[in-house]
Amino acid sequence: MADSVGDGGGTRGTPMAGAASFEPFFKMWSEWLANNMGSMTTVPGASLPWLTKPGISTGDEAKPLPEGALANDPLLSALDKVWSANPLSNIVPIDWAEITRALQTLWMREMSNPQRAMQVATEYNQRLVQTTMNVWTDAISRFWGMPQQEEEEKGKPDPRFSSEVWEANPYYRMLKETYFLATEYLLNEADETDGQGDTEEQRRLKFHLRQFVEAMAPVNFLLTNPDVLKRAFETGGTSLVEGARNLVSDIEDGSLSMVDASAFEVGENLATTPGKVVYRNELMELIQYEPQTEQVYETPILFIPPWINKYYIVDLRPENSFMKYLVEQGFQVFLISWKSADESMADIKFEDYMKLGPLAAADVARQITGSEKVNPVGYCIGGTLLGTTLAYLAADESDEKREAFGSPTFLTAMLDFSDIGDQVVFVDEPRVEFMEMTMKELGYLPGQQLSNMFNLLQPTQLIWSNVVTNYLMGQKPPAFDMLYWNSDSTSLPRDAHQWYLRNTYVENNLKEPGKVEFNGRRIDLTKITGDVYGVGTRKDHIAPWKSGWGICRLTNGNIRYALAGGGHIAGVVSPPEKSRGYWVSDGCGQYETADEWLENAEEHEGTWWDDWTAWLSSRSGEQVNPLEVGSEQYPPIEDAPGSYVKRN
């Protein structure tokens, strides 16, 4: 999701530079495969050119590929030509120029202390020798039926190497262990050679090194993936033909297929909670869901989703629909469905999202229900918009709409952008300028660029697993509702997104009282008071929970804060049947840090949904008989999910 910002590849904020930037890594990649498909060199470590070039001499350097090796290998030759032509930048949006820079930076750090570098290389080689001996000793023991020494596994097993061949076959096991050792070496060196601590530059370095090692995993290549070779043999090569067809199809579509899109249709088997569109303007449609209980709470919920994704992540299928759950608990629910931008929306401002979004929606919801207020819920960037809106209203004591908003809830929302996790890679000045140039030309930021960024935050799950399934195994991707939603991207209007990038990720202005101003009103988050509920998710890679927890210190609200298990999506979409547990406590503002809060929070089993609805119900007024959907002033326009959600 918001699940946020970035272009998938390129040199310092430009698209991928093509053959010039990729060539050295393609050859490095090919050499790695060639060496591991052949015999090991006499000195362990020499067969890993991405360890020794650039880097540390091991005394027996890996020799370059023979002339014409690429041309003689059909797969590698095809890949080389494809990357040179660069049609895959949207499918596998790896930034090879930045990876090159990261490796060069690491090499320069190592060379600043040659003695230490040699010592580390020696230790690595010793570990590789020991690993080699262990693997072949185990293989001999298996062959003779002798008892084998059981090794204690460290951490969770890597699902990429779940096939039993990776353990049973000594060649593949050695390949796997060598990869693990080299990966550990590279990432450890990034930490050990850093003298600056946890800086933005260090995060960028480690991010691109992780991109590199995940791209280099042997499971990602035909010749070093036993499952792929087995399937090719069993199908007589048909799987490779099907994989090539899948690749051509994805190149034509301009994106990596992650899901069987034919299995889903919005309004048919997704976003099916009954409701009506009761209001529409140039920026959003307002959906009112039909009551499902004999009585409903008087104060309605106004749900504000992010506009960088489609809203139906909270209304997927009936069994995991957040909206269905809420109406079944007796709440009246209104939800904003944002319009995906096109060139006609270039001049839409951030304040338009505020006025045409929650402010307009609150007026409609109050008129239809007769309630004096709504209880707003902001998810991700929708929460950032909600916080801005509440501070905007608080800045003018004469504004009657101040009373229109009751007790707010912030779901995985950031108001302080000091720590944005790995997203820092995508919002440095050159990249932001490139996005601004793109938006200036088109009038909007294409959704595919955002999708690429999100995918790079989880490359194994969202990129390489699909590369293996689609192109190497020749299979169709699975039918998975969350992946379908993840692939259904939206575009963002130029002016609004440019303001958002600059004032949040780049300059972090929202947290500074009075630094942001709309219509003469200075935004001061400290003026947000009253009862507030906040939710973070422990494994959030989009909005790190400690940043979201900052609402406890930025506002003067009486905040009950919950930390859910799971990530940015699964932690929020957490029905009772798939609960991950949570931590919760009142008065989070009394603690200085998020870690201190967590030490004092109570841990619970189940889902935070139950805790939140109990909190919200006591702030939602009396229970009353439900009214018809819509009103004379705002009659239903069409059935939910409406039209805007179906725009691309």
pLDDT digits (tens, 9 = 90+) for 154-173: 667 888 999 999 988 888 98
| Confidence at 177, pLDDT banded by 50, 70, 90 | confident
* pLDDT exceeds cutoff 70 at 380: yes
Percent residues over pLDDT 90 in the chain: 53
Instruction: Say whether both 552 and 407 belong to one domain.
Output: yes
For residue 574, tell me if it sits in a domain.
Answer: yes
pLDDT in tens, 568-586: 998 999 998 888 899 999 9
Q: What is the pLDDT of residue 2?
A: 41
Instruction: Say whether both 307 and 194 belong to one domain.
Output: no
* pLDDT exceeds cutoff 60 at 345: yes
Read off the pLDDT of each residue in 558-571 and give the average, rounded to a whole number. Answer: 94
Query: How would DSSP label each residue in 194-219?
Result: --S-S-HHHHHHHHHHHHHHHHT-GG
Greater confidence (420 vs 238) lies with: 238
Q: What is the pLDDT of residue 80?
A: 42
Q: 216, 243, 259 — which closes off a domain? A: 216
Greater confidence (27 vs 88) lies with: 88
pLDDT in tens, 510-535: 999 999 999 999 999 999 999 999 99
Greater confidence (51 vs 94) lies with: 94
Instruction: Say whether both 310 and 165 belong to one domain.
Output: no
Residue appearing with tokens 């259904």: 488
| Least confidently predicted of 148-157, 167-176, 388-397, 633-642 | 148-157
| Confidence at 648, pLDDT banded by 50, 70, 90 | confident
Q: What is the pLDDT of residue 207?
A: 85
Greater confidence (353 vs 92) lies with: 353
Instruction: Say whether both 206 and 284 belong to one domain.
Output: no
Greater confidence (370 vs 124) lies with: 370
* pLDDT exceeds cutoff 70 at 497: yes
For the chain, the domain total comes to 2
| Confidence at 348, pLDDT banded by 50, 70, 90 | very high
For residue 241, tell me if it sits in a domain.
Answer: no
What residues make up the domain containing 102?
19-85+92-216
Read off the pLDDT of each residue in 462-474 and give the average, rounded to a whole number. Answer: 91
Contact 131, 181 (CB under 8 A): yes
Please provide residue 562's backbone torsions phi and psi, each rounded to the nearest 5 degrees.
Answer: -125, 140
Instruction: Say whether both 298 and 212 belong to one domain.
Output: no
For residue 378, tell me if it sits in a domain.
Answer: yes
N- to C-terminal Cα separation, the chain? 16
pLDDT in tens, 414-440: 999 988 887 777 777 777 887 888 899
Greater confidence (562 vs 110) lies with: 562
Read off the pLDDT of each residue in 640-646 and give the average, rounded to a whole number. Answer: 97
Round to whole Å and give the CA distance between 156 and 153: 8
* pLDDT exceeds cutoff 50 at 309: yes
Round to whole Å and give the CA distance between 419 and 200: 9
* pLDDT exceeds cutoff 60 at 78: no
Instruction: Say whether both 188 and 308 belong to one domain.
Output: no
Greater confidence (634 vs 419) lies with: 634
Q: What is the CA radius of gyration of the chain?
A: 27
Query: How would DSSP label each residue in 619-633?
Result: TS--EEPPPPSS-SS
Q: What is the pLDDT of residue 626?
A: 96
For residue 225, tell me if it sits in a domain.
Answer: no
Mean pLDDT for all residues in the chain: 83
pLDDT in tens, 268-303: 999 999 999 999 999 999 999 999 999 999 999 999
pTM of the model: 0.78
Residue type, 319: E
Q: Which residues are catalytic?
A: 380
CATH number, domain of 534, equals 3.40.50.1820
Contacts of 209 (CB under 8 A, 6+ apart): 99, 102, 103, 106, 186, 187, 190
For residue 358, tell me if it sits in a domain.
Answer: yes
For residue 459, tell me if it sits in a domain.
Answer: no
* pLDDT exceeds cutoff 90 at 349: yes
Q: 168, 189, 216 — which closes off a domain? A: 216
Instruction: Say whether both 538 and 606 belong to one domain.
Output: yes
| Confidence at 241, pLDDT banded by 50, 70, 90 | very high
Read off the pLDDT of each residue in 215-229 and give the average, rounded to a whole number. Answer: 92
Instruction: Say whether both 310 and 391 belong to one domain.
Output: yes
| Confidence at 193, pLDDT banded by 50, 70, 90 | confident
For residue 302, tell me if it sits in a domain.
Answer: yes
Read off the pLDDT of each residue in 14-28 and give the average, rounded to a whole number. Answer: 37
Q: What is the pLDDT of residue 147?
A: 66
| Confidence at 630, pLDDT banded by 50, 70, 90 | very high
Instruction: Say whether both 202 and 305 belong to one domain.
Output: no
* pLDDT exceeds cutoff 50 at 634: yes
| Least confidently predicted of 119-133, 431-445, 496-510 | 119-133
Round to whole Å and give the CA distance between 284 and 275: 16
| b (16+ CB within 10 A) / e for 69-89 | ebeebeebeebbeebeeeebb
Q: 172, 194, 216 — which closes off a domain? A: 216
Instruction: Say whether both 38 and 113 belong to one domain.
Output: yes
Instruction: Say whether both 191 and 293 belong to one domain.
Output: no
* pLDDT exceeds cutoff 60 at 31: no
Contact 126, 73 (CB under 8 A): no
Report residue 554 as tokens: 């930025």
Q: What is the pLDDT of residue 191?
A: 82
Instruction: Say whether both 211 and 295 belong to one domain.
Output: no
Read off the pLDDT of each residue in 365-373 and give the average, rounded to a whole number. Answer: 97
Percent residues over pLDDT 70 in the chain: 83
For residue 226, tell me if it sits in a domain.
Answer: no
Contact 325, 432 (CB under 8 A): no
